Amino acid sequence: MAYRIHASDRTAFKRCRRQWDLSSRNRQNLEPIAGSGLIDLAQAVHDALAVYYFPGMWEWDRSIVAPLVHQALERSVRTQAKAVGGVGVDDQALQETLNCGRALLDAYAAWAPTVDHFTPIRVDTDFEANIPDPATPGATLVTPAGAEIRYCDRVDLLAIDSDDAYWVVQHRLVTDDWADHDALQLDERSIAWSWAWPQFYLGMQITGTMYNEIRADASDVGASATHPVRHQQVHHRRMYARSGTVSGERLQAEGTDAFRRTMIRRGAAELAAAGADLAAEVSAATSTDLVVYPSPEPDVCAQCSYRTPCLILNQGDDATGELSKSYRHRPPESVQEGRLGGVTWSMNRGAAPPRWPI
């Protein structure tokens, strides 16, 4: 059986090994019994954008797509509210979140066609990629027990531009300032997408990463001045293993006070280094002599769901009682039938979308 490292595992391992040890499916696999009680608007907007950019509907009139986008937002918000058992989510708060999300998406739909110089190919697509062993060319990295190690994640959007170049797109809901351009260039998750995709889909090279940043208050920040525009058709519908060549600046950004689109081209040396870094981190995480320790940091600890057992362990006491009382083992991951990207859909013009429940 393969040993799967998810992007969330990688982030948690480097942020705090104790949190990772408690939460990772490859370790203790624990989650809090009591949820946060909060609705994640970023996730709801992400789910709605998966419908907005669904390839089979890309050539549809946007007036037909808009209600489906709103339905996706509402479905995500209500699903999240149900998952937390309604704790801290009353009807008024739910409606306010929905109103905010709808206004934000309408403002985005008025702006996006001015910068969407591509055609969507896939949305919310899960992938797995074997990690090459740096010490043995041509071999796959394995655990001490001999299991193949695979890196897993989900790409927000895969698109092709007019030069036949493929891009991976990451959606971001911004609550403070725009991300620093240096931070975007160092964003390891999207770089890992660019490195892993050619292994998942053999021969398809990724030209670079796009960051689709949306301010959470976009509906209030000058968005009303943006007039609806029909998106530009690139007229590429199929996935080809071979990509075109693109010349130009490494980083390009454009946008308004409410939205920003940043494109960063990724070179072969950069992607090779990303793969080597991932291999080194995974080798450390699967080592038989791994040492687990906390990495206290105010911003991290303030939001950590494992703070109480961590404090108990720090005092040298046994946290078994607290873990049994307040945490549970995560259930197995389940495939969401009909989820966009969760199954293979035709990418040809006129492809029928899945049946979305209302």
Residue 357 has pLDDT above 70, yes or no: no
Pair 199, 130: CB distance under 8 Å: yes
∠ CA 274-178-341, nearest 5°, is 55
Q: Dihedral sign, CA of 295, 297, 303, 309?
A: positive
Instruction: Quote the radius of gyration of the chain (alpha carbons, Å).
Output: 21
Pair 70, 132: CB distance under 8 Å: no
The range of the structural domain enclosing residue 86 comes to 34-129+154-275
Q: Is residue 17 part of a domain?
A: no
What pLDDT sits at residue 202?
87
DSSP 8-state secondary structure symbol assigned to residue 238: S
What pLDDT sits at residue 343?
41
Q: b/e string for 251-274 if b means 16 or more Cβ within 10 A? A: eeeebbebbbbbbbbbeeebbeeb
Q: Is residue 24 part of a domain?
A: no
If one compares 54 and 223, the residue with the highest pLDDT of the two is 54
By the 10 Å C-beta count (0-12 exposed, 13-18 middle, 19+ buried), 163 is classed as: middle
Strands 166-174 and 30-32, sheet pairing: unpaired
Name which of 164-173, 281-290, 311-320, 333-342 the model is least confident about: 333-342
* pLDDT band, residue 342 (cuts 50/70/90): very low
If one compares 82 and 67, the residue with the highest pLDDT of the two is 67
Rounded to the nearest integer, the mean pLDDT of the chain is 86
Q: Is residue 23 part of a domain?
A: no
Q: Is residue 25 part of a domain?
A: no
- Mean pLDDT within 288-314: 94
What pLDDT sits at residue 63?
93
pLDDT tens for 186-220 read 999 999 999 999 999 988 999 999 999 999 988 77
17 three-state secondary structure: helix
Pair 208, 167: CB distance under 8 Å: yes
Q: What is the rounded CA–CA span in Å between residue 310 and residue 315?
A: 9
Domain tally, the chain: 1
pLDDT tens for 125-176 read 999 999 999 889 889 999 999 999 999 999 999 999 999 999 999 999 999 8
What pLDDT sits at residue 37?
67
What is the helix (H) or strand (E) element at residue 251, kind and residue range?
A: strand 251-255
Q: b/e string for 186-203 if b means 16 or more Cβ within 10 A? A: ebbebbbbbbbbbbbbee
What pLDDT sits at residue 358?
41
Q: Is residue 234 part of a domain?
A: yes
Residue type, 218: A
Residue 39 has pLDDT above 90, yes or no: no
Pair 129, 141: CB distance under 8 Å: no
Q: Six-digit token pair at 177?
A: 């300032």
What pLDDT sits at residue 81?
87
Residue type, 291: V
- Mean pLDDT within 315-343: 79
Question: Which residues are CB-neighbours of 308 under 8 A, at least 6 positions away?
Answer: 322, 326
CA distances from residue 50 to 43, 258, 307 in whole angstroms, order as listed: 11, 20, 34
Residue 310 has pLDDT above 50, yes or no: yes
Please provide the DSSP assignment of 20-63 as one string.
Answer: HHHH-TTTT-EEESS------HHHHHHHHHHHHT-GGGTTS-HH
pLDDT tens for 257-291 read 999 999 999 999 999 999 999 999 999 999 999 99
Q: Is residue 199 part of a domain?
A: yes
Q: Is residue 113 part of a domain?
A: yes
Q: Is residue 287 part of a domain?
A: no
What pLDDT sits at residue 335?
58
